[in-house]
Structure 1
Amino acid sequence: MANALKSRVRANYRFFLPYRLRWSDNDQYGHVNNSVYNFLIDSIVNSYLITHCGLVPNDPNPTKPIGLVVSSSCTYFSSISFPEVVDLGLRVNKLGNSSVTYEVGFFREGEDAVAAVGGFTHVFVCPEKRRPVGMVEEMRRGLEGVLVQEKAAL
């Protein structure tokens, strides 16, 4: 699996968001701290959901299903650090009735090789009961815009 992720290039992703790393993003070893990767993954996913899928942050009367993270991961191939600009690439690997699995590639500005690949799975639930429900059509249509279906191996 790690070899497949390491071979990812920009063309494998459908939506991009640049991020200028901050001094505080680095850890004592001079590279971006693991927790920052998770922050950036969450940022690009929610940016996409807001701009393309109808997500309304802090909705005072949430009636639409909400997405809860049920799993997350990140695999690192090379270090990134301040003051670099990182291009975050987003794709959806799996789109179910009530769940979606996102993948985010981390690319140094101007480079095609991936530095890291991470992501998480959202399960959409009823805001009150927190039980899985189907996602709304606007959300599904937006997510289909970044869905990548891998060709099956022969």
Structure 2
Amino acid sequence: MNSKPSGQVSLKERRRNDYRHFLSYRTRWSDNDQYSHINNSVYYHLFDSIVNAYLISHCEISPQTSSSIGLVVSSHCQFFSPLSFPEVLDLGLRVNHLGKSSVTYEVGIFREGSTEPAAVGGYTHVFVDAVSRKTSQIGEQTREGLQRLFVPSESGPGSKL
């Protein structure tokens, strides 16, 4: 039974063209677990890698010197097909929600050249002052970079700029 709201796409139905930014990742032998596929924890490493690479190169965030930082407050992942070493993966990134102080990222993990995801997940950052850890608004340059990744929700309300 399909319980998703009318018009909403399930994560398994995502395709490569649903993502706005890509990063390649060459799997390593150490990514595999005892079952010869990529360990679940590695997927979260991949999410963190594409998000932070994007923030550094497109949002002028410097982990060592920025006055605000993003803290992960929730995360998720759905797995659709196994991946293993040696494969090259394409990591796709989009923003599903952009608030005053928070952003929700979605990452699609694709075999190189595939249009269907092997996994889809992501997390929510809440931006805080780097010293006090009090919630802070997303800076103008960071917001501009994140807006380029924003994809309006298929289900209507809930996502905003």
Task: Please tell me the residue identity of whatever aligns with 2:113.
Answer: G
The answer as to 2:27 corresponding to 1:7 is: no
Secondary structure of residue in 2 paired with 1:134: coil
| CA–CA separation in structure 2 for the residues paired with 1:40 and 1:152 | 27
Could you tell me which residue of structure 2 aligns to residue 95 of structure 1?
A: 98
Could you tell me which residue of structure 2 aligns to residue 127 of structure 1?
A: 130
| CA–CA separation in structure 2 for the residues paired with 1:57 and 1:131 | 17
1:26-52 deviations in Å (ceiling 9; x for gaps): 000010001100001000000000110
Could you tell me which residue of structure 2 aligns to residue 46 of structure 1?
A: 52
Superposition TM-score, scaled by structure 2 size: 0.89
Could you tell me which residue of structure 2 aligns to residue 30 of structure 1?
A: 36
* Aligned-pair CA distance for 1:131: 1.4
Give the one of 73, 77, 80 matched to 1:74.
77
Task: Please tell me the residue identity of whatever aligns with 1:38.
Answer: Y
| CA–CA separation in structure 2 for the residues paired with 1:144 and 1:38 | 23
Task: Please tell me the residue identity of whatever aligns with 1:92.
Answer: V
- Percent identity, aligned pairs only, is 59
| CA–CA separation in structure 2 for the residues paired with 1:145 and 1:54 | 14
Runs of 5+ unmatched residues, structure 1: none
Could you tell me which residue of structure 2 aligns to residue 55 of structure 1?
A: 61
Q: Is the 8 A contact 2:63 2:69 kept in 1?
A: no
| CA–CA separation in structure 2 for the residues paired with 1:138 and 1:121 | 19
Give the one of 111, 116, 123 matched to 1:113.
116
Task: Please list every run of at least 4 consecutive aligned residues from structure 1 whose deviation after the TM superposition is greater than 6 angstroms.
Answer: none
1:69-110 deviations in Å (ceiling 9; x for gaps): 101111100001100100000000000000000000000011
* Count of aligned pairs: 149
* Aligned-pair CA distance for 1:57: 2.5
Runs of 5+ unmatched residues, structure 2: 157-161
Superposition TM-score, scaled by structure 1 size: 0.93
Secondary structure of residue in 2 paired with 1:71: strand
Could you tell me which residue of structure 1 aligns to residue 159 of structure 2?
A: none
